[in-house]
Chains A and B, each alone.
Chain A
Amino acid sequence: MMRKYTPWMLMLFFLAPILLITLLAFSGSWVYPSILPSFDSDRWMEFLGSSSLGIKPFLISTVLAVLVSLLSASIGFFTSYLLTGKARNWLLWLCLIPFCTAPVILAANFQYFFILLHLSASTVGVIIAQLFIGVPYTFLLFSTYWNEEQLTMDTAAKTLGATPFTRLLRVHFPAAKSLFTIAVIQLFLFSWFEYGMTQYIGVGQLKTLTVEVFKYTQEGNTTVAALASLLLILPPFIAILVIRKVRIAHA
């Protein structure tokens, strides 16, 4: 009996917050003793119609997350391939440092240099700051990819006449496509939900969707916060579907 209902209960457990957010996003007022809130389309139209409320932060977050994820995955993949020997071991060690500190502490350390370089309060500054987490992560991830099998494949391609660039492009990159896709998705989600570092380096000037959701929540603007949250959870859903597809294709 219990076994039969467990999947449903789990599904309800995970879906309940999303259902509540959806309900709040479409609600006007919700006063006792009403069981359901009244539907208010005005604030919904206002949210979608106003570029500063939802759509603009959504676009900023999308551009930021796409750039951070693609740049991090590419730099991490190429450096993990090109660096060998002692340099690689040193970098592997250095790459652990960002994960020993919280992103916001890392940002606090960077801020002095970012102000000097006029990168503070800019999109480029936030991208560079996020790369300091993203690149070490992908470097560590892809370092495990270059095992004996991959190196033997590289040797084979080399003696067949392929240059390092050709080997990366035609041999290794297609072979590592699944891992690369998963790395990109994970980094996209990291950048998408990043708050502390973005706020610190962006000095409140860079209004990403995550930053805005926090702001709306603090303001007690429940409907707008719920609407923005709905947009915020859209990419993770798509990411789950893509990861599932990649895993099925890889199996």
Chain B
Amino acid sequence: MLEIKNISKQFGDAFVLKGIDLCCAEGQTLSVLGASGCGKTTLLKSIAGLIPMETGSVLFNGQDLTNVEPEKRGIVYLSQEPSLFPHMSAFDNVAFGLKVRKEDASSIEKKVTEMLQSLGLWEHRTKKPNELSGGQKQRVAFGRALVITPKVVLLDEPFGSLDAGTRSEMQAFYLELAKMYKMTALFITHDLKEALVTGDQFARMEQGQLTLFSSLEAFAEDPTSGVKEEINFWNNLKNDAQ
């Protein structure tokens, strides 16, 4: 289980994160919904160890990772851009984390082949990132992250740069993948539908503070989540049409 206790972060005089606590059960996805500038990216980068925190701790299954270097945390951060290495093929991109860990060549070959097949990218294995579509690039980025079996995956609006159709496809693909690899993940988005589709647990972030909801119903009931507004919008549209 991922446990975050009392994380605070300050930039100058402004507190971007104000004592955030959260828990995410192993194999589950916690969807965090929030508007731009509410501190979502700062929260993920603090958890990954990419930026220092003022206060707080990061624990995974009781192990304190707060002072562990980002390279050794086993927490992978995936951003909106796939950030594939441009000089490497899709195969080499996926193999990167395993090569860094100095795994033997046959084991890398086997794991990467399996991963690319499960991602539906086997026929694109020799292609460079500039030869792949946006959705394919994001799949490679997922494969590159998951092949090293990380403790936690932090997803910072990973489908934000994709068009609506590909985005829906990728959301369905994410669900499959999360189930298949029993992913423990924090999925940050400003898209309500995406939060509802991808999450097992739900939270809302506003002005550096995080509210964790006990269930989907509790999330939907909360007036700030926007679920009710969305339902009302579609109901009104339906009524108007009739």
Bound complex: CA A157 to CA B78 (Å): 10
Contact with A along B64-95 (1 / 0, CB 8 A): 00000011111111110101011110000000
Is A85 engaged at the interface, CB distance under 8 Å to the other chain?
no
**Which chain B residues lie closer than 8 Å to A160 at the CB level?**
76, 96-97, 100, 144-145, 148
Is B48 engaged at the interface, CB distance under 8 Å to the other chain?
yes
Bound complex: CA A160 to CA B141 (Å): 11
Bound complex: CA A142 to CA B78 (Å): 26
Across the interface, do A174 and B73 meet the contact criterion of CB distance under 8 Å?
A: no
Across the interface, do B79 and A175 meet the contact criterion of CB distance under 8 Å?
A: no
Bound complex: CA A156 to CA B79 (Å): 8
Select from chain A the residue with minimum beta-carbon distance to B141: A156
Distance in angstroms from B149 CB to nearest chain A CB is 12
Bound complex: CA A170 to CA B141 (Å): 17
Is A84 engaged at the interface, CB distance under 8 Å to the other chain?
no
Task: Report the number of A-B residue pairs with Cβ-Cβ less than 8 Å.
Answer: 60
Across the interface, do B71 and A158 meet the contact criterion of CB distance under 8 Å?
A: yes
Is B110 engaged at the interface, CB distance under 8 Å to the other chain?
no
Category for how many chain B residues contact A: 20 to 34
Across the interface, do B148 and A155 meet the contact criterion of CB distance under 8 Å?
A: no
Is B218 engaged at the interface, CB distance under 8 Å to the other chain?
no
**Which chain A residues lie closer than 8 Å to B70 at the CB level?**
158-159
Bound complex: CA A225 to CA B165 (Å): 70
**Which chain B residues lie closer than 8 Å to A156 at the CB level?**
77-79, 83, 141, 144
Distance in angstroms from A205 CB to nearest chain B CB is 44
Across the interface, do B101 and A152 meet the contact criterion of CB distance under 8 Å?
A: no
Across the interface, do B86 and A155 meet the contact criterion of CB distance under 8 Å?
A: no
Select from chain A the residue with minimum beta-carbon distance to B96: A160
Pick from B77, B96, B99: contact of A155, CB below 8 A.
Answer: B77
Is B231 engaged at the interface, CB distance under 8 Å to the other chain?
no
Question: Which one of A39-47, A48-56, A161-169 is at the interface?
Answer: A161-169
Across the interface, do B79 and A174 meet the contact criterion of CB distance under 8 Å?
A: no
Bound complex: CA A147 to CA B186 (Å): 27
Bound complex: CA A246 to CA B88 (Å): 18
Bound complex: CA A49 to CA B78 (Å): 64
Across the interface, do B81 and A159 meet the contact criterion of CB distance under 8 Å?
A: no
**Which chain B residues lie closer than 8 Å to A161 at the CB level?**
71-72, 74, 97, 100-101, 148
Distance in angstroms from B40 CB to nearest chain A CB is 15
**Which chain B residues lie closer than 8 Å to A219 at the CB level?**
none
Across the interface, do A152 and B85 meet the contact criterion of CB distance under 8 Å?
A: no
Is B50 engaged at the interface, CB distance under 8 Å to the other chain?
yes
**Which chain B residues lie closer than 8 Å to A171 at the CB level?**
85
Q: What are 15 of the A-B contact pairs (CB < 8 Å)?
A: A152-B83, A155-B77, A155-B79, A156-B144, A159-B76, A159-B77, A160-B76, A160-B100, A161-B97, A161-B101, A170-B96, A170-B100, A174-B87, A175-B85, A175-B87
The 8 A-B residue pairs whose C-beta atoms are closest, nearest first, are A160-B97, A156-B83, A174-B87, A159-B77, A153-B83, A152-B83, A161-B100, A162-B100
**Residues of chain B at the chain A interface (Cβ within 8 Å):** 48, 50, 70-79, 81, 83, 85-88, 96-97, 99-101, 141, 144-145, 148
Extra pairs beyond A162-B96, A174-B87 (20, CB < 8 Å): A149-B81, A152-B81, A155-B83, A156-B77, A156-B83, A157-B85, A158-B50, A159-B50, A159-B77, A160-B144, A160-B145, A161-B97, A161-B100, A162-B100, A163-B71, A170-B96, A170-B100, A175-B85, A175-B86, A177-B87
